[in-house]
Chains A and B, each alone.
Chain A
Amino acid sequence: MSAPFTDAQLAAFLTGTLEDETLIDAIEAAINADPALATRAEALASAEPMDASVREAFAPVLDAPVPERLIAAATPRAAEVVDLAAARAAKSAAPLPTPANDTGRSSWRWPQFGAMAASLALGVLIGGPLLKGGGAGAPEGGSLVLASADLTAMLDSAPSGQKTDLAALGEGEVVLTFRNADGLLCRQFLIEGKGGTTSDALACAGGNGTGWQIEAYGRRAAPVGEMKLAGGDAAPAVVAAVDAMIDSDPLTGADEIAELGKK
Chain B
Amino acid sequence: MNPDDTTRQALIALIPRLRRFARVLTGSIADADDVVQAALEKAMVNLEQYQPGTRLDSWVFRIARNHWVDDRRRAHNRMGHDDIGEMLDLAGDDGVAVVEASAEARMVRAAVDSLPPEQRDVVALVMLEELTYREAADMLGLPIGTVMSRLSRAKAALAKRIAAEGTVQ
Contacts and interface: CB of A to CB of B under 8 A. Distances in A.
Interface of A: 13-18, 24-25, 27-33, 38, 41-42, 45, 48-51, 53-67, 69-71, 73-77, 227-228, 230-232, 243, 246, 250
A230 B37 contact: yes
A31 B145 contact: yes
B148 A31 contact: yes
A253 to B, nearest CB: 12
Contact of A76 (B5, B37, B112): B5
Contacts of A24: 149, 152-153
B69 to A, nearest CB: 16
A28 B148 contact: yes
Contacts of A30: 145
Contact of A16 (B84, B130, B153, B169): B153
A57 B108 contact: yes
Interface of B: 4-5, 8, 11-12, 15-17, 19-20, 23-24, 29, 32-34, 36-38, 40-41, 43-45, 84, 87-88, 91, 102, 104-106, 108-109, 112, 123, 127-128, 130, 132-134, 143-146, 148-149, 151-159, 162, 169
A63 B20 CA distance: 10
B149 A27 contact: yes
A53 B87 contact: no
A16 B23 contact: no
A101 to B, nearest CB: 35
B155 A66 contact: no
Given A24-B153, A60-B88, A70 B36 contact: yes
Q: Tell me whether chain B's interface is mostly helix, strand or loop, or mixed.
A: helix
Nearest to B160: A16
B12 A75 contact: yes
Given A50-B159, A57-B105, A32 B17 contact: no
Contact of A60 (B15, B105, B153, B162): B105
A243 B88 CA distance: 35
Nearest to B4: A76
B7 to A, nearest CB: 10
Closest 5 pairs between A and B when the two form their complex, measured CB to CB: A16-B155, A31-B145, A57-B108, A28-B149, A73-B40
B70 to A, nearest CB: 11
Contacts of A77: 44
B24 A70 contact: no
A69 B33 contact: yes
A228 B30 CA distance: 10
Nearest to B88: A60
A233 B157 CA distance: 38
Contacts of B29: 61
Contact of B158 (A25, A50, A64, A67): A50
Nearest to A73: B40
Contacts of A33: 145
Given A61-B19, A74-B44, A246-B45, A232 B156 contact: no
B40 A53 contact: no
A243 B169 CA distance: 50
Output the residue of A29, A61, A76, A230 with the most chain B CB within 10 A.
A61
Given A32-B145, A51-B127, A57 B112 contact: yes
A58 B84 contact: yes
B133 A42 contact: yes
Contacts of A67: 33
Given A42-B133, A58-B84, A66-B15, A74 B40 contact: yes
